[in-house]
Amino acid sequence: MPSKHDKADVYEPSPDLKIWLAGKLVPTAQATVSVFDHGLLYGDGIFEGIRVYGTRIFECKAHVERLFDSAKAIRLEMPYSREEITRAMHDTIKANNVTDGYIRLVVTRGPGTLGIHPFRTSGAVVFIICDRIAMYLPEMYEKGMDIVTAATIRNHPNACSPRIKSLNYLNNILAKIEAIDAGCLEAVMLNHEGYVAECTGDNIFIVNNGRVQTPAPHCGLLLGVTRAVIIELARARDIPVDETTLTRQDLYLATEAFISGTGAEVCPVKTIDKRPVGNGKPGPITKQIMEDFKRHTREYRE
């Protein structure tokens, strides 16, 4: 079956990009990991996607803490301290002259045997990429995006916890394929009980009767750093926020909807499963939160 993406969509990293790898900044061509690395062989590792605004690492502490929480959950011994990881990110930003961009911080289990045994490895490998990112087209932020509900459900929390930001994203990728096949760029994923969990790479919010609602932590979602910021910003404006259990019917009856994520930031949703959200245009609460979030990123200080 032919690929549906255009060649223009294929990313080619700049050869001038400097990658932080195992304590050194190296050119892209030298930024390599072993074919025996368990991150590659088994998706055995963790990562964080982090925004840079005005050379500042947005919500740095929250991202680093989540990284270390993920490491603890999979019994991955971190080779660097929180402070060393933070300093390495700053060094990577500076080396690439990035003012506004995106960091991908990755920790793999490291090279090991061809068996699945996680402790027969030579030790964790850390690398940091700092580059630019554009998740969605500008018109989607102005008019809203279309999303669908995926048939692929979110991982059961007793299998691989969605709260672990692991390198194994096949669950999300299969749902993403469904979205692309439907002509969209994002899909809602339900949990094993049929309730709304999150999207393939973003958290989801809806508005009903003036209240912002988003799936609760027990619904099987990654607790997004941007999600937490949005909840805080909404409550600062006395907009009620409920972390609750949501069904597809709740999505269909919402007057507003939007998604959030480190890469996506805040993007309105205009249709869900071909049903218009409200009047099919970004609503007032969504617009307010988008404006507040943009201001917050400009004013943010580490």
d(CA 268, CA 283): 8
Distance spanning both ends of the chain, measured CA to CA:
47
Instruction: Label the pairing between strands 211-215 and 203-208.
Output: antiparallel
Give pLDDT tens digits for 134-156: 889 999 999 999 999 999 999 99
Active site residue 143: no
Give CA separation, 116 vs 40, 113, 281, 293, in Å. 12, 7, 49, 43
Sign of CA dihedral 276, 279, 281, 285: negative
Going along the chain from its start, the domains and CATH numbers come out as: 10-131 (3.30.470.10), 138-299 (3.20.10.10)
Give Cβ neighbours of residue 10 (< 8 Å, ≥ 6 apart). Answer: none
Active-site option among 18, 94, 143, 165? 165
Give CA separation, 218 vs 191, 209, 224, 240, 255, in Å. 10, 24, 14, 20, 24
The model's pTM = 0.94
Give pLDDT tens digits for 190-218: 999 999 999 999 999 999 999 999 999 99
pLDDT in tens, the chain (302 residues): 344 555 556 777 787 899 999 999 999 999 999 999 999 999 999 999 999 999 999 999 999 999 999 999 999 999 999 999 999 999 999 999 999 999 999 999 999 999 999 999 999 999 999 998 888 999 999 999 999 999 999 999 999 999 999 999 999 999 999 999 999 999 999 999 999 999 999 999 999 999 999 999 999 999 999 999 999 999 999 999 999 999 999 999 999 999 999 999 999 999 999 999 999 999 999 999 999 999 999 999 88
